[in-house]
C-alpha cells in the first residue's frame, strides 16, 4: 500500500526510519498508477492538462510568488527578471506544445508506406538546477505531460522550497482538469545525491539540467538519459555591425537575471577597427570597462580556487560585485562589467563561464582571428553549446555555422532571448539545451516534446524501390575501377 504524501513527508523528516529506496519506491508506485490512468488520454485531455500546468506558473500572482521564493531561497538572480522568465518561457513552450500532436497518428508518409504513432516513455526523472528552480521544473513537466508521462522532479537542495511550491501549484492545476495529481511529484526534503541517484535508477527516462556531475550521474545510471552541457557563449562583433544595436542586445541579454542563463554572453570578440566604438556602445547601456588593476582583483575574487567560482558573487546584483571587487564603477549607472583579456584556457579563467554580470572582451585584428578566438574559448569551456555574431555580412554567419562545432549560431540576436526559444527565432522554447557529442550530450537541439515520446512505425508494402547495380556503382567503378564490368 502506498502511504499518503503527508505521511511520507513526515517519515522523511527522520531518515533513520525510512530508507532512500523506500522513499523513491513509494513515489514510483504513485507515478506508475497515475501514468497508467493517463496513458490512454486523448489529445484534448492531454492539452488541457498541459495548459493547466502552464497556467500554474504563468498566472501573474504565481509567477511573482515563485520568483520571490527563488531569489529568497537561492540568493541567485533577481525577482523582476525571474517573473519575466517564468512567464515568457512558459508561454512560449505552451505555444509550441499546443501546435503538436502526441496522441495517435502524428505523421504519415504515403510514399514510404510509414505511419508513425506516438506513445509515452513512462516515468521521467528530472534533475533541475538552483538557477531556475521554478521555470525549469515547470518546463520539463509540461513536456512530460504532453507525452502522457508521469514525472518526478529532483531539485537542487537550495531550490527545493521553490520547486516544491511549483509542484504543488502544478498538481492543483492537474486536479482542476481531472488529471491524476501524481503525474507530477517531487523528491522530499532533504534532497541528497543518494536519493537523486536512486531516482535515476528507478525511472524510465532521466533528464538532467544543471551540474555536469549530475549529467554524468544520469548517463551512468543505467537508465536512458538526456543531459545538457555547459554554456559559455562567445559573440563576434565585426566592422559591419550596427554597434548601438549590438551593444543594446548584448547588454540586455548579459544582465538578464544577473547572468544566470547558460545562454548569457560570456565573451565578446570585437574587431580592432570598431573596438573603441563598441566599448562606447556598451558604456551607453551601462557597461563599465574595468582597469588592468581591477582585472586582477576581479579574477582573485570571482574564483576562490582554480575552476571554482565564488558563490557569493554568482548571479548577484552589480552593486555586490562592485563592492566585493573594490571597483571604481558608478553604482547608479553600471549594469555589467567588462574585463579585457587576450588568452584562453585554464590559465585565463575569464575565458570561461562566469554566471555573473562580468563579460570578457577580446580585441582581434581580423575575422579569421575572431573565429580562432571563438574556437579556443569553446575548446576550453562550452563545447557544442552556442556562439553568435553581430554583422551585416551573412556570409560570415554561414562560415561560423560551417566551421564551428556548435549546435546554435545566432545572428544579430540577444542570446538569452533567442537560444532557448524566442518569438523572433525558430528555436523551440526550452530551458535545457543539448550540446551534441561535442559537449558530452546525446542531443543536438533544444529539449522539446519529441524527447518525451516513443514512436511506433507502421509499415505497409510499397512498390519496389530497388535501383540497378549500374545506378549505385556505375560512377564509382568508372572512376576507380574502369576495367571492371557489371
Catalytic residue ranges: 262
Phi, psi of 271 (to 5 degrees): -65, 140
The owner of cell 548571479 is 315
CA distance 415 to 234: 10
CA distance 279 to 219: 43
CA distance 473 to 486: 9
Contact 282, 338 (CB under 8 A): yes
Q: Could you tell me the sign of the dihedral formed by the alpha carbons of 345, 349, 355, 357, in that order?
A: negative
Query: Residue 39: which of 119, 101, 140, 151 has the closest Cα?
Result: 119
What is the CA angle 411-385-261, rounded to 5? 85
Strand locations in 204-349, DSSP E?
205-208, 225-227, 233-237, 265-271, 287-289, 303-305, 308-309, 336-340
Query: Residue 158: which of 76, 79, 61, 48 has the closest Cα?
Result: 76
What is the CA angle 252-253-254, rounded to 5? 95
What residues contact 170, with CB distance under 8 A and at least 6 apart?
52, 53, 56, 57, 138, 141, 184
Q: Could you tell me the sign of the dihedral formed by the alpha carbons of 97, 103, 109, 112, in that order?
A: positive
Return the CA Rg of the chain. Answer: 25
Beta-bridge partners for 185: 152
- Alpha-carbon dihedral of residues 118, 124, 127, 129, nearest 10 degrees? 50
Q: How many CA atoms lie within 13 A of 223 on its CB side?
A: 26
CA distance 232 to 377: 8
Element (H, E) at 172: helix 160-176
What is the CA angle 68-71-75, rounded to 5? 160
Contact 120, 31 (CB under 8 A): no
Query: Residue 61: which of 165, 190, 203 has the closest Cα?
Result: 165
Amino acid at each position: 500500500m502506498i502511504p499518503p504524501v503527508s505521511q511520507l513527508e513526515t517519515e522523511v523528516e527522520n531518515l533513520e526510519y525510512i530508507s532512500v529506496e523506500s522513499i523513491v519506491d513509494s513515489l514510483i508506485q504513485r507515478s506508475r498508477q497515475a501514468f497508467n490512468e493517463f496513458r490512454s488520454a486523448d489529445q484534448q485531455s492531454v492539452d488541457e492538462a498541459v495548459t493547466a500546468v502552464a497556467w500554474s506558473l504563468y498566472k501573474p500572482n504565481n509567477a511573482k510568488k515563485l520568483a520571490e521564493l527563488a531569489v529568497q531561497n537561492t540568493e541567485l538572480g533577481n525577482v523582476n527578471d525571474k517573473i519575466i522568465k517564468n512567464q515568457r518561457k512558459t508561454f512560449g513552450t505552451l505555444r509550441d506544445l499546443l501546435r503538436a500532436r502526441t496522441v495517435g497518428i502524428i505523421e504519415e508518409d504515403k510514399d514510404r508506406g510509414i505511419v508513425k504513432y506516438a506513445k509515452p516513455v513512462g516515468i521521467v526523472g528530472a534533475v533541475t538546477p538552483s538557477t531556475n528552480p521554478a521555470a525549469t521544473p515547470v518546463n520539463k513537466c509540461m513536456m512530460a505531460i504532453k507525452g502522457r508521462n508521469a514525472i518526478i522532479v529532483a531539485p537542487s537542495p537550495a531550490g527545493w522550497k521553490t520547486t516544491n511550491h511549483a509542484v504543488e501549484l502544478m498538481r492543483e492545476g492537474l486536479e482542476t482538469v481531472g488529471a491524476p495529481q501524481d503525474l507530477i511529484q517531487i523528491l522530499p526534503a532533504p534532497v541528497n545525491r543518494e536519493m537523486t541517484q536512486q531516482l535515476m535508477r528507478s525511472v524510465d527516462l532521466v533528464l538532467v539540467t544543471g551540474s555536469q556531475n549530475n549529467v554524468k550521474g544520469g548517463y551512468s545510471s543505467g537508465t536512458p538519459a538526456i543531459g545538457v552541457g555547459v554554456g559559455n557563449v562567445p559573440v563576434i562583433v565585426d566592422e559591419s555591425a550596427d554597434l548601438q544595436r549590438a551593444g543594446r542586445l548584448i547588454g540586455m541579454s548579459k544582465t538578464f537575471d544577473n547572468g544566470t542563463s547558460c545562454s548569457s554572453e560570456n565573451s565578446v570578440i570585437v574587431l580592432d577597427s570598431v573596438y573603441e566604438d563598441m566599448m562606447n556602445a556598451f558604456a551607453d547601456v551601462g557597461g563599465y570597462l574595468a582597469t588592468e588593476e581591477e582585472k586582477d582583483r576581479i579574477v582573485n575574487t570571482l574564483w576562490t580556487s582554480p575552476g571554482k567560482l565564488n558563490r557569493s558573487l554568482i548571479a548577484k546584483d552589480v552593486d555586490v560585485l562592485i563592492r566585493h571587487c573594490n571597483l571604481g564603477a558608478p553604482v547608479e549607472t553600471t549594469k555589467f562589467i567588462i574585463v579585457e583579456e587576450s588568452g584562453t584556457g585554464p590559465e585565463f579563467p575569464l575565458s570561461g563561464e562566469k554566471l555573473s554580470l562580468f563579460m570578457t572582451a577580446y580585441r582581434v585584428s581580423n575575422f579569421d582571428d575572431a573565429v580562432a578566438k571563438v574556437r579556443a574559448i569553446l575548446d576550453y569551456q562550452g563545447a557544442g553549446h552556442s556562439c553568435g555574431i553581430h554583422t551585416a555580412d551573412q556570409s560570415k554567419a554561414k562560415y561560423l555555422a560551417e566551421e564551428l562545432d556548435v549546435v546554435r549560431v545566432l545572428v544579430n540576436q540577444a542570446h538569452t532571448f533567442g537560444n532557448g526559444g524566442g518569438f523572433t527565432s525558430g528555436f523551440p522554447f526550452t530551458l535545457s539545451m543539448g550540446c551534441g557529442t561535442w559537449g558530452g550530450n546525446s542531443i543536438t537541439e533544444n529539449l522539446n516534446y519529441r524527447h518525451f515520446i516513443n514512436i511506433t512505425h507502421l509499415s505497409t508494402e510499397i512498390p519496389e524501390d530497388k535501383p540497378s547495380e549500374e545506378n549505385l556503382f556505375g560512377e564509382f567503378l568508372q572512376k576507380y575501377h574502369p576495367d571492371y564490368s557489371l
